[in-house]
Structure 1
């Protein structure tokens, strides 16, 4: 990974960084595909008061009319509404581009479940993911 210095106007990073190197590598690869049209997988930094506090992404691995969102907040900045705000912002950004959105949460991640429910997502199924174990599946349908 490139270790060049950040530009002077770059957001500050919290102590301990934003995410593990493998997650940042994934985000870097996703960021390469960002364009004016949301045609590919994309990711954004969550910036609060000039500090990067998390990441949110949109991927079209399954049904391209209902892409999946994923997000994470730095542990030191959790429980402050950042994930809920980012999910709400993403919904507004893509409202006229897709039929809906989907997401998955660990069955044990009540905070993430609350962020989705607060933004109008409904739990619709459970499944077992090979990497993450038991997960809840969530759906958001845009009203037309």
Structure 2
């Protein structure tokens, strides 16, 4: 299940606290510096597009995050990112979260296309996107992330 992530949720996760009384996956969802970066990204995207970030919750526990990773472009295209706590990977959580995010996108008149990028070495993430109907549309090199596959699906 996806629950919209607010600034207060990010603050709680960064502080190692439970947002809204939810448990947090063993080992936390992500490193504090990554959570701080995602918090800033959500604030930036939130200036023009809302909602834009969600906690991935299973059985009352925050097990990951998913979000728009940039302000929508080409008018109706959003790019998503997602991550699952290391202690909760390989359980289908990311696949279900991306399916839930696509359901949201299908219900939002502003969104016609959802894109994503994965490392060319991240087979599990590639399988998550393929399982949700994404098709590989190209490759690019990013200064920080290296070689990436580009993905897209119409909603």
TM bucket, shorter chain: 0.7 to 0.9
Displacement of 1:11 after TM fit?
Answer: 1.3
Partner of 2:57: 47
Q: Is the 8 A contact 2:27 2:87 kept in 1?
A: no
Equivalence for 2:29:
18
Aligned counterparts of 2:98 and 2:51: Cα–Cα separation in 1: 16
Distance across 2 between alignment mates of 1:50 and 1:34: 27
Q: CA deviation at 1:41?
A: 6.9
**Which of structures 1 and 2 has the larger relative contact order (alpha carbons within 8 angstroms, sep 6+)?**
2
SS of structure 2 residue aligned to 1:67: strand
- What secondary structure sits across from 2:99 in the alignment? helix
How far residue 15 of structure 1 moved from its aligned partner, in angstroms, is 2.3
- TM normalised by structure 2 equals 0.78
Structure 1 gap ranges (5+): none
**Structure 2 residue runs without a partner (length 5+):** 1-10
Deviation at 1:5, TM superposition (A): 5.5
What's the TM-score once normalised by structure 1's chain length?
A: 0.84
More helix by share: 2
Asked if the contact 2:18/2:24 (under 8 Å) is kept, the reply is no
